Amino acid sequence: AFKNIKTLPPMGVSHLTNLFQEDKNDNKVNLGVGVYRTEENQPYMLPVVKKCALELVENPDLNFEYLPVLGNPEFTKAATELILGKDCKAIKEKRIVGVQTISGSGALRIAVEFISQHLKKRTCYMSNPTWKNHSLILKQAGFKTLKGYPYWNASKRNIDIPKLLAALNEAKQGDVILLQPSAHNPTGMDPTKRQWKQIAQVIKERNLFPFFDVAYQGFATGDPDRDTWAVRYFVKEGIETLIAQSFSKNMGLYNERVGNLIVVLKDAKHFEAVASQFTIIIRTNYSNPPAFCSRVVAKLLTDEHNKKEWLKTIGEMVDRIKKMRKTLTKKLKELETPGTWDHIEKQRGMFSFLGLPPNQCDKLLKEKHIYLLNSGRINVCGLNLNNIDYVAKSIDEVVRQ
Q: Where are the beta strands (DSSP E) in 56-112?
A: 96-102
Beta-ladder partners of 101: 259
105 binds ligand PMP (CB under 6 A): yes
Of the residues 72, 80, 103, 116, which one makes contact with ligand PMP according to CB under 6 A: 103
CA nearest to 292, candidates 63, 46, 48, 58 = 63
- Residues whose CB is less than 8 angstroms from the CB of residue 227 and which lie 6 or more positions away in sequence, other chains included: 181, 182, 183, 216, 217, 218, 219, 220, 221
3-class DSSP assignment, residue 203: helix
> With CB under 6 A as the contact rule, which of the stretches 91-99, 103-111, 157-165, 261-269 interacts with ligand PMP?
103-111
Give the count of residues interacting with ligand PMP (CB under 6 A).
13
CB atoms within 10 A of CB 30: 23
Say how far apart CA 139 and CA 147 lie, in whole Å: 12
3-class DSSP assignment, residue 358: helix
Active-site residue flag, 213 = yes
127 binds ligand PMP (CB under 6 A): no
Binding map of ligand PMP across residues 20-49, x = CB under 6 A, - = no contact: --------------x---------------
Q: Which residue is nearest to ligand PMP (CB)?
A: 104
Q: Give CA angle at 329 (24, 317), nearest 5°.
A: 75
Catalytic residue among 131, 152, 229, 310: 131
Q: Which is nearer to ligand PMP, 233 or 254 (CB)?
A: 254
Say how far apart CA 241 and CA 317 lie, in whole Å: 30
| Residue 56 burial class via C-beta count within 10 angstroms: exposed 0-12, middle 13-18, buried 19 and up | middle
250 binds ligand PMP (CB under 6 A): no
Q: Which is nearer to ligand PMP, 135 or 158 (CB)?
A: 135
246 binds ligand PMP (CB under 6 A): yes
Size (the chain), residues? 401
Binding map of ligand PMP across residues 2-21, x = CB under 6 A, - = no contact: --------------------
- DSSP state, 119? S
382 binds ligand PMP (CB under 6 A): no
Catalytic residue among 249, 299, 331, 368: 249
Closest approach, Cβ 106 to ligand PMP, in A, equals 7
Binding map of ligand PMP across residues 258-277, x = CB under 6 A, - = no contact: -x------------------
75 binds ligand PMP (CB under 6 A): no
Active-site residue flag, 131 = yes
Contacts with ligand PMP, residue ranges (CB under 6 A): 34, 103-105, 131, 180, 185, 213, 215, 246, 248, 254, 259
Active-site residue set: 131, 213, 249
